[in-house]
């Protein structure tokens, strides 16, 4: 087991968003099977036709069901020899609104220095198809700063998976995903705000409803489909308070495929170093967990803390893209995450442009954490991890390997 894998309740029961109002009489259950799905047992249990198969995640051997409350116990009795039967968890976007071109946040992580140092390969660096998947509420692909950069859409909400180039299927009505995407890829055009890596290609993965929340199983499917669509880096400015097999399995599957995953640590910090409040999937060992800092390099009390925090990035009053061609300030570890995502994209793109192979997730983790600027107590700390991410130092270190 590699060093990268050294690290390792309660959710409201709810129907899929957009359903009828009132208290639900059914719930979402995830069944993880061993070799083959328990088809016959489900047929026997479903003689009345009130159990619905929402999705089948073959890559991680899991089925998501919508099942009446009164059949939950019967399900556990009937389905023998399965790996797990768990209620589907709910995750939330970790950002909130606060209503020049290169802003302080991009300067703070030393990204502008890279364009000058590597000008000889900068233009061709992103001709190698480096794709970043933004798992969120969707992206406003018509925004002037993002136009032409969103190359693919994946929508995992509900029981109908969409994947293709109809970008309307990934329209952002919450605003959160568009803001995250802008931090990664907004154009360098002397208008409002520029992203960390303006030339990258984006895959919009709509895994959260317009409410800003969504099921773990939808996120798990989004992780799997994004990797299958060619995403090298997954940016997840979301999370929930509980562990879940379906999400953990999907994250580890993506790691095994070589995808770098970055997720928001969460906005549940309390300033107590003894309290671990990092959310999932950031808490998983194969995910880089990002905490937030303000313009002075201080970690706000609301930024989640714990031993799983790996690095920190600007996350307070960040100006970025907003649906309808607008711009807005938002705060949260949701905003810190895409800064780290952008650095990971720079590492991989500039290595390819230099004729080098892609780094493994373990290697990207090691480069980012070993080059981070220590901003807290000497060494690792639970608030900022190994320190403030440094794009310049990370890329230089990555190219020297």
* Partners of 235 in beta bridges: 134, 262
Does 176 qualify as catalytic in the annotation? yes
Cα(367)–Cα(315) distance, rounded to whole angstroms?
21
Q: How is residue 47 written in tokens?
A: 């003689």
The full DSSP string for 160-177 is: --EEES-GGGG--SSSHH
Query: Running DSSP on this structure, what letter comes out for residue 183?
Result: H
Cα(311)–Cα(184) distance, rounded to whole angstroms?
17
Query: Of 249, 334, 381, 384, which residue is the catalytic one?
Result: 334
Query: Of 143, 176, 179, 339, which residue is the catalytic one?
Result: 176
Q: How is residue 78 written in tokens?
A: 């009937």
Query: Of 136, 249, 310, 381, which residue is the catalytic one?
Result: 136
Residue 94: how many other CB atoms lie within 10 Å: 33
Is the Cβ–Cβ distance between 136 and 180 less than 8 Å? yes
Cα(188)–Cα(183) distance, rounded to whole angstroms?
11
Q: Which of 269, 282, 277 is nearest to 316 (CA)?
A: 269
Cα–Cα separations (whole angstroms), residue 68 to 23, 28, 87: 12, 9, 12
Q: How is residue 252 written in tokens?
A: 């580890």
Q: What are residue 12's phi and psi, to 5 degrees?
A: -70, 135
Q: Which residues are catalytic?
A: 136, 176, 334
């Amino acid at each position: 087991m590699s060093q990268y894998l050294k690290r390792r309740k309660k959710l409201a029961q709810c129907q899929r968003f957009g359903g009828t109002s009132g208290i639900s009489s059914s719930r979402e259950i995830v069944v993880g099977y061993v070799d083959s799905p328990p088809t016959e047992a489900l047929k026997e249990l479903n003689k009345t036709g009130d159990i619905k198969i929402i999705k089948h995640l073959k890559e991680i051997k899991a089925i998501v069901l919508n099942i009446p409350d009164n059949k939950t116990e019967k399900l556990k009795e009937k389905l023998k020899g399965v790996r797990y039967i768990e209620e589907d968890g709910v995750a939330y976007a970790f950002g909130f609104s606060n209503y020049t071109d290169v802003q302080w946040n991009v300067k703070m992580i030393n990204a502008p220095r890279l364009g000058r140092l590597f000008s000889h390969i900068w233009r061709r660096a992103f001709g190698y198809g480096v794709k970043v998947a933004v798992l969120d509420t969707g992206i406003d692909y018509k925004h002037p700063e993002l136009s032409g950069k969103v190359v693919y859409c994946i929508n995992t909400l509900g029981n109908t998976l969409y994947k293709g180039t109809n970008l309307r299927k990934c329209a952002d009505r919450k605003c959160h995903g568009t803001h995250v995407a802008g931090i990664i890829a907004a154009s360098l055009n002397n208008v409002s705000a520029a992203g960390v890596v303006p030339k990258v290609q984006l895959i919009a993965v709509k895994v959260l409803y317009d409410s800003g929340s969504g099921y773990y199983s939808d996120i798990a499917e989004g992780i799997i489909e994004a990797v299958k669509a060619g995403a090298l880096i997954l940016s997840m400015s979301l999370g929930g308070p509980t562990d879940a097999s379906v999400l953990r399995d999907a994250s580890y599957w993506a790691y095994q495929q070589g995808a770098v995953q970055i997720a928001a640590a969460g906005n549940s910090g309390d300033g107590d170093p003894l309290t671990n409040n990092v959310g999932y999937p950031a808490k998983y060992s194969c995910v880089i967990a990002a905490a937030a800092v303000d313009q002075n390099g201080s970690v706000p009390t609301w930024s989640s803390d714990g031993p799983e925090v790996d690095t920190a990035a600007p996350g307070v009053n960040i100006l970025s893209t907003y649906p309808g061609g607008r711009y807005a300030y938002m705060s949260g570890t949701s905003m810190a995450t895409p800064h780290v995502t952008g650095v990971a994209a720079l590492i991989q793109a500039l290595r390819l442009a230099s004729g080098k192979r892609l780094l493994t997730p373990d290697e990207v983790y090691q480069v980012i954490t070993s080059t981070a600027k220590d901003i807290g107590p000497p060494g690792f700390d639970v608030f900022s991890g190994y320190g403030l991410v440094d794009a310049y130092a990370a890329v230089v270190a990555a190219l020297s390997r």
